[in-house]
Amino acid sequence: MCGIMGYAGHRQAAPILLEALKKLEYRGYDSAGMAVIDRGAIQVRKTRGRLQLLANMTADGRDMPGSMGIGHTRWATHGEPSDRNSHPHLSHNGHFAVVHNGIIENYRPLKEMLILKGYVFRSDTDSEVISNLIEFYDQGDLVKTLMTAAQHLEGSYALGVLSVDEPDVIAAIRKDSPLIVGRGEKENYIVSDIPAILNLTREVYLLEDGEVALLTPESIVFHNAYGDRFEKEPFHVDWDVSAAEKGGYEHFMMKEMMEQPAALRETIRPRIKDGRFILDDLKLDPDWIRHISMVYIVACGSAYHAGRLGKNLLESKLGIPVEVDIASEFRYRRPILKPDHLVIIISQSGETADSIAALREAKAHGVRTLAIVNVVGSTIAREADYTLYTWAGPEIAVATTKGYTSQIAALVLVTMYLAQETGKMSDEELGEAQEMLLRLPEVTEGVLSDHREVQRLASLFFNCKDIYFVGRGIDFSLSLEGSLKLKEISYIHSEAQAAGELKHGTISLIQPGTLVIALVTQKRLREKMQSNIQEVKARGAVVIAITLQGDEDIKHVVDHSLPIPYLSDELQPVIAILLLQLFAYYVAALNGNDVDKPRNLAKSVTVE
């Protein structure tokens, strides 16, 4: 969960590194640093804190001469955020500099071995082991040295390496952490994420596990896991550069919330043609679809919450049992997997470490896997048997918004497609579902066009210490995401509770003035929710309800209501979450928090 940038060219490297690192800071912002080769020596500048401190320290990079360099922005795992724990890390003799994204699981025995050999360590990180291990195995050939050192590393890593013995080369290698190689005009790059170099190039190579890339200003040479040179096909990026910029908004999060109608259109419209759901990119065997006996949905964080909504959809429309697992639990609980099961992996980045491991666990059992991801060419997208892209566009803010809603839309599409292919829904039902899906972007646009009431409510409750979200059925799954969104950017303690479980413990925490946000968007569960609202009101709670337009009965028993238009039970979560996202945003902003970069969090969780 760190950002890596490397530059091999003829221009001064440091200013270019800084500019790219600004676009990678969502991956980590505890500390930052750069290493540049100049006159046969590696110069390192690094500091605890935001990237701007590094920019100030180096006069925006002008004080670091040299045209070959690597940079890093860190999300701390091993060792507290500090100057000495910041990357890059020099080897003992100063001949190698390394930037690292990932976790080295066996760093302790490696560190102990190297200390016995006389190596001195200057940090508390696992990453410094790598630079010293490279020095220990130095064979005078950077490829052989790097591959030998990598054979002794357990865990995940994406590495950028400088060597004073090969001053015109940047070396890169990866395993289970993303790393991209970019090709420019007489300059080349390594980077953790494509948007950071879109202003420099649109020709990129997706580095696979075990591959080594050697970059000079004029060339890129690839070596496979056996050390043999080979040719690699570039991938042309056709994203709009402005998609990764704020576009006049104060925060990326607000921009991305406002982009949700467009993201939903991109997800939905190409998949509905001539009255049918068309998922050509999946190429699923219709006969095999009819014999699916079990579906697992595996994900982390917000994607897991989307998966819980997918469970409701799949079970209600297909009559197939569905289990939803947190990826970090799935991989260790020895799930019962059979050939007629389907495992759906959901990940915005496609690089979530636990989700990758769950995917590989499923494939090891011979089970077919379907990935719902946003990032083209990501590890999960490449390794899954079938991939459905959400096409939501780059998402920079750490707290996902359009990534989450487009995942729900994708799950609806998958459900309807499977129901269509198995005959589980009539043509009339499928037609109604298509109509509602095609209307969804327009409806979300209307909801987002005026959020003054949400902003007003945030101004009333931004100083709360505890907030509880309650709902039933689909609304309970939705409340999990609403609670997560609030706590991750506002730092206010919040919990999501199945409304029927309130009386089994949580209601003891309700005191006069406690804020409860109640979700009442499911018509068949409305009366039950009204009873639950009255339970917390009787204990003195202040209740904000997200209700359906025209529901006057609920409006009269709560303190504040936020009505939303009704499309269908399946799509109400997409509409309702917009208000919860906005509420979290305004509460966080009113508390003076950095909305895009909440403390202790990073965008792509590439470590366990």
pLDDT: is 555 or 141 the higher one? 141
What DSSP assignment string belongs to 223-257? E-TTS-EE----EE----GGGGS-TT-SSHHHHHH
Q: What is the pLDDT of residue 335?
A: 86
464 catalytic residue (yes or no): no
169 in the same domain as 189: yes
For residue 169, give the nearest of 149, 148, 153, 146 by alpha carbon. 146
Query: Quick check: 606 pLDDT over 50?
Result: no
Query: Among 30-44, 123-137, 152-166, 232-246, which stretch is predicted with the lowest mean pLDDT?
Result: 232-246
For the chain, the residue count is 608
Q: How many domains are contained in the chain?
A: 3
CATH value at residue 388: 3.40.50.10490
Q: Which residue has the higher pLDDT, 355 or 503?
A: 355
Q: Which domain, by its residues, includes 340?
A: 245-448
Q: Determine the average pLDDT of the residues in 416-431.
A: 93
In a domain, 600, yes or no: no
For residue 462, is it within any domain? yes
Please determine, for residue 528, whether its predicted confidence score (pLDDT) is greater than 90. Answer: no
Q: Note whether 476 and 583 are same-domain residues.
A: yes
Alpha-carbon separation of residue 225 from 137, 330, 395, 420 (angstroms): 17, 29, 32, 43
**Confidence band (pLDDT; 50, 70, 90) for 298?**
very high
Q: Name the average pLDDT for the chain.
A: 91
Asked whether residue 402 is domain-assigned, the answer is yes
pLDDT for position 351: 87
Q: How does residue 378 score in pLDDT terms, banded at 50, 70 and 90? A: confident
**More reliable by pLDDT, 42 or 528:** 42
Catalytic residue among 2, 255, 311, 485, which?
A: 2
Domain contains 603: no
Q: Are residues 194 and 289 in the same domain?
A: no
Q: Determine, yes or no, domain membership for 597.
A: no
Give the pLDDT band (50/70/90) at residue 607.
very low
Tell whether 476 and 546 lie within a shared domain.
Answer: yes
Residues 466 and 437 in one domain: no
pTM of the prediction? 0.76
Judgement on whether residues 526 and 413 belong to the same structural domain of the protein: no
How much of the chain, in percent, has pLDDT values that exceed 90?
A: 70
Cα–Cα distance, 212 to 172 (Å, whole number): 6
- State the number of CA atoms in the 13 A half-sphere of 361 facing the CB: 22
Residue 41 has pLDDT above 60, yes or no: yes
**324-340: average pLDDT:** 89
- pLDDT score, position 605: 47
201: left (phi over 0), alpha (psi -120 to 50) or beta: beta
Same domain, 95 and 108: yes
Residue 14 falls inside a structural domain: yes
User: Does 263 lie in the same domain as 409?
Assistant: yes
In a domain, 190, yes or no: yes
Q: Stretch 2-13: mean pLDDT, rounded?
A: 95
Same domain, 196 and 50: yes
pLDDT single digits (tens) 186-244: 999 999 988 889 889 999 998 989 999 999 999 999 999 899 999 998 988 876 655 66
219, 238, 257 - which closes a domain: 238
The answer to whether residue 259 sits within a structural domain is yes
The whole-number average pLDDT for the span 438-451 is: 94
Residues 265 and 63: their CA atoms lie apart, in Å, by 47
Same-domain check for residues 470 and 443: no
pLDDT at 602 over 70: no
- pLDDT at site 240: 64
- Residue-by-residue DSSP string for 425-483: S-HHHHHHHHHHHHHHHHHHHHHHT--HHHHHHHHHHTT-SEEEEEESTHHHHHHHHHH
Last residue of a domain, one of 214, 238, 262: 238
Same domain, 361 and 415: yes
Task: List the catalytic residue out of 23, 255, 317, 603.
Answer: 603
Q: Dihedrals φ, ψ of 177, to 5°?
A: -135, 140
For the question of residue 2 being annotated catalytic, the response is yes
Give the model confidence (pLDDT) of 334-357 as tens digits. Answer: 888 999 999 999 999 898 889 999
Q: What is the CATH number of the domain that holds 222?
A: 3.60.20.10
Per-residue pLDDT reduced to its tens digit, 94-104: 999 999 998 89
Distance CA 254, CA 408 (A): 20
**pLDDT, tens only, 397-407:** 889 999 999 99
If asked whether residues 116 and 167 sit together in one domain, one would say yes
